[in-house]
Amino acid sequence: MAFISAGYVADLAAGEVREIFVGERPYAICNFEGSFYAMDGECPHQGGPLGQGRLDGVHLACPYHLWAFDCRSGRCDRDRECRVATYPVRIERGEILIEVP
């Protein structure tokens, strides 16, 4: 795995989420109260774009049918068995770096 740039801290305010692509694979990058989290960008329900969803506290809601996922753990609030993969994040010189496969 390698760390990939997911943009800059200054461009993602607290409470916001951004969709990025590494190749053709989408990821959702969340800023929860100044801490950054990365998760898979494809909703396990029906493939909705999680990176285009809405962040409410730690809960990222899918824009299609509003299933919500904890941006820290990837856990779904509707089904304990359902979880989205999360990835390590680090910040270097104002840049958000995510470690993805």
Return the range that interacts with ligand FES (CB under 6 A); candidates 3-11, 16-24, 61-69, 83-91. Answer: 61-69
Residue 15 to residues 10, 37, 40, 56, 58, Cα–Cα distance (Å): 13, 11, 18, 7, 9
51: left (phi over 0), alpha (psi -120 to 50) or beta: alpha
The stretch near ligand FES (CB under 6 A) out of 15-23, 24-32, 63-71, 82-90 is 63-71
Q: Does 20 bind ligand FES (CB under 6 A)?
A: no
| Closest distance of CB 28 from ligand FES, Å | 11
Residue 78 makes contact with ligand FES by CB under 6 A: no
Closest C-alpha among 23, 11, 31 to residue 72 = 31
Which spans of this chain sit near ligand FES (rule: CB under 6 A)? 43, 45-48, 62, 64-65, 67
